[in-house]
Amino acid sequence: MGNAKQPDKKPFIAYVIGVIVIMLLLNTFLVPAIVRRNIKEVDYSTFLNMVANKQVEAVQLDSDYITFTDRSSPSNFYRTATFEDPQLVERLEKADCTFGRVVTETNPILAFILSWVLPLVFFYGIGIFLSRRLMSNMGEGFGGGNPMMSFGKSGAKKYVPSTTSIKFQDVAGEEEAKQLLQELVLYLHDPQKYADIGASCPKGALLVGPPGTGKTLLAKAVAGEAEVPFFSIAGSEFVEMFVGMGASKVRDLFSQAEKNAPCIVFIDEIDTIGKKRDSGALSTNDEREQTLNQLLTEMDGFDGSKGVIILAATNRPDVLDPALLRPGRFDRRIPVELPDLQGRIDILKVHAKKIRVAYNVNFETIAKTAAGASGADLANIVNEAALRAVRMGRKVVNQEDLQESIEVVIAGYQKKTRVLSEKEKLIVAYHEIGHALVAAKQSNSAPVQKITIIPRTSGALGYTLQVDEGDKYLMSKTEILEKIATFTGGRCAEELIFGSITTGASNDIEQATRLARAMITQYGMDDDFGMVALSTQNNIYLGGDSTLACSPETAKLIDDTVVRVVREQHDKAKKILEDNIGKLHQLAKYLYENETITGEEFMSILEK
């Protein structure tokens, strides 16, 4: 091993010099000022008058000054210069004063030690303590050197090829993204092949998609396949309290990347520093904007032929600055979407390799039930199934464990401590059967998979689980209306059987209203408004909140139409339940007695 780099002593020398200057100023100005602050200077004649009037309490005599106190206010000190006065002692005795002579000469060595040596030792100890404390808390900075001077270092984590063992085979469900990233790997392996034909590799690639889809995992897989150093840093780590520190970290990051080329630099959550700059007249040049400007400059002046590729990930591509996305910076935009049915099957199998699974587990059934789940959700489902198997005293995970773990992720754990009264239990049973019966009597609804009235930790007192046979990417107007009718089925059953309504339909109302409003404002499925966009969708990967983009008069018409659509489907659902009132009673009674029924049991009773 080579000699370790010696820490720079210049900062410590500057620290010592600063301490000496501060002590010099304190001894010259501050300490004498503090001593003089409570002593009032008077002339000798005033002193003699006060002695004659017996106003002086105590007197201290030295070679230069006479210090005395006022009898009426002993806390007030006075001082006057010493004069040759042979009658002074006699005057003090007549005035009944307490007096004495003070020797003011001090040992110069002791004075030097007290004024200089001890403070220097004290400050030196503080400096050593802070240096060691910062060393233990911060460790070596990304660029090495003294941690006390690590401001401006990027702090990126470096993974060398030997520690980055993730390969593309460890990432399932994102085949298109892996194909697009494979080209970057080939370029790092053989850049001359591309240079011969005159092609240049993209400087940067932006991974966009919902949370939990594996964007960071894909970036590590690229580094693992290319077998090059991998620098990882989060966008929030560039944000500092001190102006200019973020830009300094960007410079340091690109400087280290050039020294370690070929390599991959990965910036996670780049939207933290890459948001659109304010174009208003009152825009300010804040720290985040300086950091973004520095990032744009570094990417412009970066030589892509050296084999350094910049990867970034975000789930908010709509807020990124256009200058960051133009060709020459992040040339390639790679979507990392939620996995489809086959992708979910592959992801489940990858995570199932880490646990002991029964031979007869059907991953396709689990994948169908987990429609809309991300890769992180599926990993959590597999782990929850393993935990449940341990709780049940089994050594392998079976189909029931995986099925129950999906319900745990969707609705939470079973809340066994919440015991419903008999009446509430009966209301919940009719409510859930109302949903299932309306869904079963419509031609375009997904088949019922399970119905339960066991309370869950999410707050749900029961739920009806419907599972489509495959993934659906389009919905017709008829299917949307039938979904709204299914949402209203629970409330309709309460009205029909009990003649009153409860708070149990709050979530149903929210989903039905949202679906009806989207049908009108986003999908253009209403005859009165037609193909007119009446709302804009924000944060498509983070919930997809929509904002109305219309006049107040149009907004009122939209509200009226939403109410009309939901009411029409409510009446339709109520008519279905009235026509099948016997089955409603029969199914509700069976659910009340058993608490949970499967889709096969439900359809068997319904078709008899």
Show which residues are catalytic: 432
Rounded to whole angstroms, what are the CA distances from 125 to 10, 16, 131, 134? 18, 11, 10, 14
274 close to 314: Cβ distance less than 8 angstroms: yes
Q: Alpha-carbon distance 490 to 508, whole Å?
A: 8
Across 87-229, where does the E strand assignment appear?
Answer: 98-101, 157-159, 204-208
Tokens of 303: 């030589």
H helical segments located in 190-244: 191-197, 215-226
Tokens of 360: 């007869």
User: Which long-range contacts (C-beta less than 8 Å, at least 24 apart) are formed by 527-534?
Assistant: 528/557, 528/561, 529/557, 529/558, 529/561, 534/558
Amino acid at 406: I
Query: Looking up tokens 């009718």, which residue turns up?
Result: 485
Rounded to whole angstroms, what are the CA distances from 250 to 101, 257, 274, 294? 70, 11, 13, 7
69 close to 57: Cβ distance less than 8 angstroms: yes
**Strands 157-159, 98-101: parallel, antiparallel or unpaired by DSSP?**
unpaired
Residues 79-105 as b/e (b if ≥16 CB within 10 A, e otherwise) read bbeeeeeeebeeebeebebebeeeeee
| Best CA proximity match to 238, nearest among 260, 253, 220 | 253
Rounded to whole angstroms, what are the CA distances from 479 to 254, 444, 446, 500, 535? 52, 6, 10, 29, 22
How buried is 191 (Cβ within 10 angstroms: 0-12 exposed, 13-18 middle, 19+ buried)? middle
Q: Alpha-carbon distance 427 to 535, whole Å?
A: 38
Tokens of 408: 């745990």
How buried is 176 (Cβ within 10 angstroms: 0-12 exposed, 13-18 middle, 19+ buried)? exposed
Rounded to whole angstroms, what are the CA distances from 477 to 518, 526, 536, 547? 11, 9, 20, 22
- Region of 341 (left: φ > 0; alpha: ψ -120 to 50; beta: rest) is alpha
DSSP 8-state code for residue 3: P
Helix (H) or strand (E) holding 547: strand 546-548
541 close to 211: Cβ distance less than 8 angstroms: yes
The set of residues, in sequence order, having a beta carbon less than 8 Å from that of 16 and lying 6+ positions away, is 124, 127
Tokens of 160: 């060398």
